[in-house]
Amino acid sequence: MENSILILKKLKKINLIILLILSNITLANISIENTPIPGGIAVVDFQSNHSNPKAFYSAVPVYTQHIKDQHWQALIGIPLLAKVGEKYITIKGFSTKKITFTVHQHDYKEQHITLTGKKKKYVSPNLKHMNRIKREHPILSKTRKLFSKKLLFNGRFIRPVKGVITSPFGLKRFYNGQPRRSHTGLDFSGNIGTLIHAPANGKVILIGHFFFNGNTVFIDHGQGLISVYIHMNKHLVKQGQLVKQGDKIGTIGQTGRATGPHLHWGVYLNQTAVNPNLLLSEILH
Ligand SMILES: [Zn+2]
């Protein structure tokens, strides 16, 4: 009798361990909608017997997740400037294979911004500013290129601030009539000093003050999924610090190329700016 109770207890323990392992696998996955448009995320399914297959898009490693048995998924960030049509990813496991997917047309709106007075330097930077931009460029691009192994992830992002969205993702921008890079993030309005929270667990990989971005924080969420917070007033985290979802990371400001106090929130996947809305459980307008 005692023996059977012991076996039962052991079985319960094994069940609990299996449940814990399973829940960890589920936690590590991001369930997002397939949005194969420029600035979107293509969700591409593939089969592999390998325990850790790798996927690449234009030679850049992409986020992969295990769904069930041999079923895997790649999450591919599509550049805003990508041409529509058929694309492919390369899967490397026990063998190498190509999986194709199609990028569809999407038209983003135009936005015209006027910068006056001191802020004019952000449209026509002088030599000193140009040198600073050149110096900062490799630091920022190196940070966006980081690809670390999977960190603890909770499946969905929460919004970093409560403010309303003043500029959506993807707007074709014109500064004082001159075409510039499209808007690569979401802008939230907010008063200077409003707290900004980490949308998901991650590691702070860069803190700095940059010409265009002003006070900036980058967070690595693993496998090339990186989020960035710019124009901040203050940052409340240190480089290398691990953050949990909801932790305070800084406050809203107006530093760098900002016409008013707001948070610009950007999300990168495989070195590509994607619409942060796609990672939130609610779509923000
Ligand atoms: Zn912005």
Q: Residue 225 sits in a domain of what CATH number?
A: 2.70.70.10
Whether the Cβ atoms of residue 235 and residue 218 lie closer than 8 Å to each other: no
- Residue in the block written with tokens 């690569």: 184
Q: For residue 100, is it within any domain?
A: yes
State the amino acid at position 80 in one-letter form.
Answer: L
Q: What's the gap in Å between 167 CA and the centre of ligand 1?
A: 7
Q: What's the gap in Å between 232 CA and the centre of ligand 1?
A: 12
Q: What's the gap in Å between 73 CA and the centre of ligand 1?
A: 30
Q: How many structural domains is the chain composed of?
A: 3
pLDDT above 90 (res 228):
yes
Can you give the residue range of the structural domain that contains 15? 1-30
Report the percentage of the chain scoring pLDDT > 70.
87
- Choose the final residue of a domain: 53, 73, 107: 107
Q: For residue 190, is it within any domain?
A: yes
* 15 in the same domain as 143: no
* 136 in the same domain as 126: yes
* 218 in the same domain as 151: yes
Q: Which value, to the nearest 10 degrees, does the dihedral of the CA atoms of residues 11, 15, 21, 27 take?
A: -160
Whether the Cβ atoms of residue 90 and residue 74 lie closer than 8 Å to each other: no
- CATH number of 79's domain: 2.60.40.1590
Q: What's the gap in Å between 144 CA and the centre of ligand 1?
A: 17
Q: What's the gap in Å between 186 CA and the centre of ligand 1?
A: 6
Q: For residue 285, is it within any domain?
A: no
Q: What's the gap in Å between 250 CA and the centre of ligand 1?
A: 16
* 73 in the same domain as 10: no
90 forms beta bridges with 56, 98
Q: What's the gap in Å between 243 CA and the centre of ligand 1?
A: 23
Q: What's the gap in Å between 107 CA and the centre of ligand 1?
A: 18
At 152 the pLDDT is 63
State the amino acid at position 206 in one-letter form.
Answer: L
Residues 6+ apart with CB under 8 A from 21: none
* 264 in the same domain as 139: yes
Beta strands in the chain (DSSP E): 41-47, 54-57, 60-61, 63-68, 71-77, 85-92, 96-103, 110-113, 165-167, 172-175, 178-179, 186-189, 195-197, 202-210, 214-222, 225-235, 242-243, 248-252, 262-269, 272-274
Q: What's the gap in Å between 257 CA and the centre of ligand 1?
A: 9
pLDDT digits (tens, 9 = 90+) for 185-212: 999 999 999 999 999 999 999 999 998 8
Considering only residues 185 and 10, tell me which one the structure prediction assigns the higher pLDDT. Answer: 185
pLDDT above 80 (res 118):
no
Q: What's the gap in Å between 178 CA and the centre of ligand 1?
A: 17
139 forms beta bridges with none
What span, in angstroms and rounded, lies between the C-alpha atoms of 5 and 11? Answer: 10
